[in-house]
Amino acid sequence: MDESVKEIEYISGQLKVGEIVTYQDISHQFGATYKKSKVILYNFYKSNKSNFVGQFIINGVIEGSTVIKFIESEKLIEEAVEKFDKIDEIYCYSVTPKTEFSLKDFAIHNQKNVINTDNLNYYHKLGLIKGPELVPVTSFKTSKLTVAEPTKTSTTTKEVSTKPKKEKTIGLMSNYVSRKQKPADTAGSKRAADPPKYQYKSRKLENKKPEKVVVSNDLEADEFDEFDDMEVDTPAPSVPAPKTKLSDIFNDDDDDEEDITEGQKEENTKIQESEQEEAIPEPEAETKEASVEPQVEPEPEAESETQEPQEPQYDEEGYLITYNTKKPKSKPKPKPRTTTETKTEIKQPVKSAVKVTKDKKSKQPSVMSFFGKKK
Amino acid sequence: MGYQDYINLSVEDELIERKEVSVVSEYDKQNDFSLESSGRRYDRQFFTMYQARLNELKTRVDSRAMKQWGNGTIKRDNKVISKVDKILNITSNQLCWVSGTIFVDLKNKLNIFNDVEKGIDDVLPQIPKSYISSEGTDDKVIMLEDESGRAILHGDDKLKDQLFVTGAIVAVLGIELQAGIFEMIEIIHPEIAPIRPMNPKSNSKIAFVSGLEISDSVNYDFKIDLLKEFFQNNPKSKDISHLVIAGNSIKETDQDIGEEYVSNNNYGSKNISKFNDKSLKLFEVFINEIISNCNISIMPGPSDPTDICLPQQPLHRSFFVNNKNYVGNNIRSLTNPSWLEIDSIRMLGTSGQNIDDIVKYLSPEDLQNKDILLKIMKSTINWQNIAPTAPDTLYCYPFENNDPFTLTNETPKVYFIGNQNEFKSELVNVNNENMLLLTIPKFNQCGQLVLLDTVDLSVEIIKFET
């Protein structure tokens, strides 16, 4: 008993605070074996029965089956014992203050006693049964499952192989998965698949106006991956080389719906950002066309930019005025909003935006037909 | 004797070592139910899956039927039995046999056309507790179909013991008395694939548990703590070499349940998680406590955070948080259904959906049978398909030219089903080999752990009571 002074002080201290004390608490607190802790706890309870409530566990046999029964109070133990055909052991599981404790309270209490698997030798000394050694798996082992799959069913492998070939996706394919597969490639960015990378990088290189890019793409990326591909492809036409890549991409994702979605995108981008975005590209077009191309996100914008230098020739009012006023627009967006001059500017670009959309709409089907031919 | 006489009788602590068992890292059929992580197609028809099942089992049922009934060589009641290749070719008043797929039409089966009519085809429908209407079983229509057509099956009382569910491949001996109605006389099932003999190298026990349904702290079941404690320091558990968790480890949160559909917010941004983070955390704690002293295999179940469709794919290793590095060694995250091979014992198990769905085809009279679960399990072995009702009434991935639920070349030595209302086991003789059928009860209801002896396949249960 002398050895267990600290333990007894701990038990009484915890009970005074209104806490549950289990034999595992004592073991984990003082490194005592589970067996010893059970003895200490029971001895404590025996000498303090009047002040506390003891909970017990009965290990035994009822009708041929091993039964492990939790008894909430010593008062109930005799009754429970009678039901057992054979009893292997009874031990004191815990002691609580006399206030009411439910099983949930015990469950919540036990959540504090979590075994640290990094130090199992310590728990083995306490009485934890020694099981097989914990062996971490290298990251490669997880790939075994995925590698083994195609071997088992030829159908699944066929699916994968036919995937890029298929021209029509009805829309129930799990685009979602492609993101998970190549998380490292995207490196933090939530955008999916390979093709988008090129253009995103190019955008990042020119940091002038990334905010708009992020907003528009995130919205679309969350909804449809294929749409991202469409967007990303748009800057490519300005460069001759990527055309072949584009065609490949469209062959992968061919959707009849894409035409519609592009149109929707254009509308959305114009509705949401028409004032700001279109106001921005215009001055850029004046200064340098090359710089404008990478900055602009979707196709329609890029096209509009290429159109813009032509339109002033045709249109009399809008663009001439905007050019003059927008020269200082290298500044960020919020500024033009606040100034009164920008109000007039905004109104005009809106008109121009409508015109641009008309132009875009007329051009888009031609773009799609272009890709359609390549199929 | 007072209870004091039993206090602290256990022997003074000494290091107790758990028995080890050989669990091969790679084995046959290990990935039979695995799906590619990418490129899954849900826009396919289920026809090729049925076709694959029929192709596989028709030859086996035909060969067995040919031995028993022949084709123009055997007489029954002075009538020569002839074989009919197609259902469409059945002629009236001719004793013949034909093979095909059973289709059972029941009033309460889900029907997409009804959903479309009611405008609720875009939400997850509420699956009925029984496909049989409350009025009775009169609305039950059993049919046999193949690629040529269908015939309504009608049987006498002798066939009442037979279970009929959609998707089972059988051969039927009978006679067409009325047009389109085939009077059944006998039924034959496909030849049963062989069972691999076992050769255990250790004398240990494999533990099975299902339906832990770990929830948040408030609703946490204290019996789970007793289970953890049993594994940690109860000397009786030292013979357990492996723990198999057969589904429903995590409890779903209460959902907005309508009469006809589960929720109207199943899609898009309105989709609300069915799980709370606290229950996931407590699940991880439970796994941590168990693997500290015992290896586990864990299968997902209907309430776990993975696919709805069978085969359910393994719980993602992220759910094991701090122990995710042990997934693959100490933790085996399996599919549902899944094949296991522990100490040369070939096992096939599910988390119970396949049996639960078949139960919905049964009449109240059938369900009064105490051993109905074992009967269903035997029937699935006889049908050589563990989930015949998929995809008709059981959500299932649309496999192409493949049906993984069909037992093509092997029947398991141990066939277990998780999340049942009670524990049942039976050793049956299949092709002169013993085969063990096992139902694993829901732990949160019954508090039972099932132990299987690896040498003699004897079974015992450990009860945890509060």
Which string of DSSP letters, residue by residue, matches A309-324?
TTHHHH-SSHHHHHHH
The reported pLDDT for the residue numbered A360 is: 43
User: A171 and A121, same structural domain?
Assistant: no
Residue of A nearest to B268 (CA): A223
Contact B79, B95 (CB under 8 A): yes
A145 located within any domain = no
A11 located within any domain = yes
Residue of A nearest to B314 (CA): A145
Domain boundary among A69, A98, A126: A126
- Check B3 against A90: CB less than 8 A apart: yes
What's the CA angle centered on B286, arms B281 and B287, to 5 degrees? Answer: 95
Complex confidence, ipTM: 0.86
User: A255 and A182, same structural domain?
Assistant: yes
User: A122 and A180, same structural domain?
Assistant: no
- Check A134 against B232: CB less than 8 A apart: no
Interface size A-B, in CB pairs within 8 Å, comes to 236
- Check A159 against B295: CB less than 8 A apart: no
User: A60 and A192, same structural domain?
Assistant: no
Residue of B nearest to A74 (CA): B3
Question: What is d(CA B167, CA B385) in angstroms, rounded to the nearest whole number?
Answer: 9
User: A101 and A240, same structural domain?
Assistant: no
Q: Does A52 touch chain B (CB under 8 A)?
A: no
The reported pLDDT for the residue numbered A15 is: 87
User: A235 and A171, same structural domain?
Assistant: yes
**HSE of A23, CA atoms in CB hemisphere, 13 A:** 26
Residue of B nearest to A24 (CA): B229
Q: Does A331 touch chain B (CB under 8 A)?
A: no
Structural domain spans, chain B: 3-42+194-463, 47-188
Q: For chain A, which ranges sit under pLDDT 50? A: 1, 140-171, 174-175, 177-261, 263, 265, 269-271, 273-311, 323-363, 373-375
The reported pLDDT for the residue numbered A180 is: 44
| Architecture of the structural domain at B3-42+194-463 | 4-Layer Sandwich (3.60)
Quick: pLDDT tens for B301-354.
998 888 889 999 999 888 888 888 889 889 999 999 999 999 899 999 999 999
A183 located within any domain = yes
Q: Does A121 touch chain B (CB under 8 A)?
A: no
Quick: pLDDT tens for A56-72.
999 999 998 999 999 98
Q: Which of A68, A108, A131 sits opposite B294 (nearest CB)?
A: A131
The reported pLDDT for the residue numbered B109 is: 86
User: A89 and A177, same structural domain?
Assistant: no
Residue A352's closest CA among A285, A292, A254, A264?
A: A285
The reported pLDDT for the residue numbered A204 is: 44
The reported pLDDT for the residue numbered A332 is: 44
- If phi > 0 it is left, if psi is from -120 to 50 it is alpha, else beta; for residue B258 that is beta
User: A331 and A224, same structural domain?
Assistant: yes
- Check A173 against B399: CB less than 8 A apart: no
Residue of B nearest to A145 (CA): B31
Asked if the bond preceding B125 is cis, omega within 30° of 0, the reply is no
- Check B326 against A136: CB less than 8 A apart: yes
Q: What is the DSSP string of B225-240?
A: HHHHHHHHH-GGGGGE
Residue B196's closest CA among B441, B419, B362, B434?
A: B434
What mean pLDDT is reported for chain B? 87
Strand B414-420 and strand B345-350: the pairing is parallel
Question: What is d(CA B465, CA A34) in angstroms, rounded to the nearest whole number?
Answer: 21
Q: Does A65 touch chain B (CB under 8 A)?
A: yes
Largest CA distance in chain B: 80
Burial of A304 (C-beta count, 10 Å sphere; 0-12/13-18/19+): buried
- Find the domain containing A305 and state its range: 167-374
Tokens of A213: 């890019």
Q: Does A143 touch chain B (CB under 8 A)?
A: no
A259 located within any domain = yes
The reported pLDDT for the residue numbered B444 is: 92
Interface of B with A in 294-313 (CB under 8 A): 294-295
- Check B42 against A173: CB less than 8 A apart: yes
A142 located within any domain = no
CATH, residue A75 = 3.90.1030.20
Question: What is d(CA A100, CA A45) in angstroms, rounded to the nearest whole number?
Answer: 17
User: A309 and A252, same structural domain?
Assistant: yes
Domain boundary among A74, A94, A126: A126
Find how far residue B449's CA is from the centre of its chain.
Answer: 19
B47-188: CATH topology: OB fold (Dihydrolipoamide Acetyltransferase, E2P) (2.40.50)
User: Which residue's entry shows tokens 């070499």?
Assistant: B241
Q: Taking CB atoms and an 8 Å cutoff, what residues of chain A touch B31?
A: 145, 148-149, 151-152
Quick: pLDDT tens for A151-194.
333 333 333 333 344 444 444 554 454 444 444 444 444 444 44
The residue type at A252: D
Question: What is d(CA B319, CA A333) in angstroms, rounded to the nearest whole number?
Answer: 44
Q: What is the DSSP string of A210-271?
A: HHHHHHHHHHHHHH-HHHHHHHHHTTGGGSSTTHHHHHHHHHHH--THHHHHHHHHHHHHHH
Q: Taking CB atoms and an 8 Å cutoff, what residues of chain B touch A177?
A: 37-40
Q: Which of B15, B31, B40 sits opposite A124 (nearest CB)?
A: B15
The reported pLDDT for the residue numbered B5 is: 75
Q: Specify the DSSP element, H or E, that contains B186.
A: strand B181-188
User: A194 and A78, same structural domain?
Assistant: no
Q: What is the DSSP string of A102-140?
A: -HHHHHHHHTT----GGGHHHHHHHTPPB-SPP-PPPTT
Residue B30's closest CA among B342, B349, B338, B295?
A: B338
In a structure prediction context, what are the per-residue pLDDT tens digits for chain B, which is 466 residues long? Answer: 677 777 777 666 578 888 888 788 888 999 999 998 888 888 888 989 999 999 999 999 999 999 999 888 888 888 889 999 999 989 888 899 999 999 998 888 888 888 888 877 777 777 888 888 776 656 788 999 988 899 999 887 767 788 999 999 999 999 998 888 999 999 999 999 999 988 888 889 999 999 999 888 777 888 999 999 999 988 889 899 999 999 999 887 766 555 555 555 555 555 666 777 788 888 888 999 999 999 999 999 998 888 889 999 999 888 888 888 889 889 999 999 999 999 899 999 999 999 999 999 988 888 888 999 999 999 999 999 999 999 999 999 999 999 999 999 999 999 999 999 999 999 999 888 899 999 999 999 999 999 999 999 999 999 999 8
Q: What is the DSSP string of B266-278?
A: -SGGG---SS-HH
Asked if the bond preceding B311 is cis, omega within 30° of 0, the reply is yes
A185 located within any domain = yes
A273 located within any domain = yes
Residue of B nearest to A138 (CA): B325
Number of folded domains that form chain A: 2
- For residue A12, give how far its alpha carbon lies from the nearest alpha carbon of chain B (Å): 21
Q: Does A370 touch chain B (CB under 8 A)?
A: no
Phi, psi dihedrals of residue B447, rounded to the nearest 5°: 60, 40
Interface of B with A in 58-87 (CB under 8 A): none
Interface of B with A in 352-411 (CB under 8 A): 399-402, 404
Distance of CA A62 to CAs A41, A229, A299, A303, B465, Å? 27, 67, 76, 82, 12
Question: What is d(CA B455, CA B208) in angstroms, rounded to the nearest whole number?
Answer: 16
The reported pLDDT for the residue numbered B257 is: 55
